[in-house]
């Protein structure tokens, strides 16, 4: 005769393990406690979301959002109202519904073109039409995370700035020659507009025009190459 109680005992033990890890994280929200919890629930959450979405890319996005919700909304969990696993799966379910309904994209503020001059610690010159500024140390010192292919990385301000800098340098190499040259001259070599024009035998009006187009093109490249990192950087700038 089959022992029908065995799966039930296994399920209860599994939920008990998850709740124990969850309570450890909530009482002591360190990175290692969060990582242990996420490693434990990763397979179950992904399988649950895949049943709804039927797409691994969509699952990755919803998993990332769900992890963010768990991390940053942990204080809203009430152990007297539900088990942690129930609360967690409800978050995952609602994120899947938002994704399917098209409410899961970037906020409007993330669709604007961002001037990346602050990444290169440029100085301010007299040309107000193509302004640049040093890194703003008043950025909110917040934290966020990116989930990718079964692992996650927690980001603070400095990590975001460092990684978006590296990505922007890489993306510059994909731009047309004229845009790439003026961007590197302006933001990496720290030249003024008139210096770029003189050194490269380009009219000043062309330098200004190419800088504007280059910034827009760099935004587009970063949105495609590192979309989640780009969103973190834009959010960081808008939360001054």
Helix (H, G, I), strand (E, B) or coil at 152: strand
Helix boundaries (H) for the chain: 5-27, 31-53, 56-72, 84-100, 157-172, 177-183, 193-200, 204-225, 227-238
CB 222 within 8 A of CB 164: yes
In tens, the pLDDT along 14-36 reads 567 888 899 999 999 888 888 89
pLDDT of the residue at 124 = 32
pLDDT of the residue at 141 = 40
In tens, the pLDDT along 157-200 reads 777 888 888 889 899 999 999 999 999 998 888 888 999 999 99
Contacts of residue 130, defined as CB under 8 A and 6 or more positions apart, other chains included, come to 186, 193, 208, 211, 212
pLDDT above 80: residue 235: no
CATH classification (class only), 112-238 = mainly alpha
Q: What is the mean pLDDT of residues 105-129?
A: 47
Q: What is the DSSP letter of 227?
A: H
In tens, the pLDDT along 145-156 reads 565 555 566 667
Neighbours of 31 (CB within 10 A): 13
In tens, the pLDDT along 47-73 reads 999 999 988 888 888 888 888 888 888
Q: Considering the chain, what percentage of its residues have pLDDT values greater than 90?
A: 15
Show the tokens assigned to 103.
Answer: 């409410």
Residue among 169, 173, 163 at smallest CA distance from 230:
163
pLDDT above 50: residue 109: no
CB 221 within 8 A of CB 135: no
Domain boundaries, the chain: 5-100, 112-238
Fold annotation for 5-100: Rna Polymerase Sigma Factor; Chain: A (1.10.1740)
CB 157 within 8 A of CB 140: yes
Show the tokens assigned to 44.
Answer: 């179950």
Show the tokens assigned to 132.
Answer: 């640049």
CB 26 within 8 A of CB 77: yes
pLDDT of the residue at 148 = 57
pLDDT of the residue at 76 = 85
Q: Considering the entire predicted model, what is its pTM? A: 0.47
Show the tokens assigned to 40.
Answer: 């434990």
Q: How far is CA 187 from CA 48, 128, 208, 209, 231, in A?
A: 46, 15, 13, 15, 21
């Amino acid at each position: 005769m089959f022992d029908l109680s065995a799966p039930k005992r296994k399920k209860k033990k599994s939920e008990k393990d998850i709740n124990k890890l969850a309570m450890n994280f909530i009482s002591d929200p360190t990175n290692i406690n969060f990582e242990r919890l996420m490693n434990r629930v990763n397979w179950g959450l992904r399988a649950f979301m895949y049943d709804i979405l039927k797409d691994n890319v969509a699952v990755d996005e919803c998993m990332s959002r769900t992890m963010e919700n768990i991390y940053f909304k942990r204080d809203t969990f009430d152990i007297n109202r539900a088990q942690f696993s129930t609360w967690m799966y409800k978050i995952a379910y609602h994120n899947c519904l938002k994704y399917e309904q098209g409410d899961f994209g970037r906020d409007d503020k993330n669709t604007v073109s961002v001037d990346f001059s602050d990444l290169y610690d440029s100085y301010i010159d007299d040309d107000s039409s193509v302004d640049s500024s040093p890194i703003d140390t008043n950025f909110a010192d917040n934290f966020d995370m990116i989930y990718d292919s079964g692992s996650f990385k927690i980001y603070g301000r400095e990590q975001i700035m460092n990684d978006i800098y590296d990505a922007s340098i890489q993306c510059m190499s994909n731009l047309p020659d004229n845009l790439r040259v003026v961007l590197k001259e302006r933001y990496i070599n720290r030249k003024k507009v008139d210096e770029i024009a003189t050194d490269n035998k380009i009219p000043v009006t062309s330098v200004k025009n190419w800088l504007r187009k280059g910034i827009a093109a760099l935004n587009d490249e970063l949105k495609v190459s590192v979309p989640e990192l780009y969103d973190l950087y834009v959010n960081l700038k808008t939360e001054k």
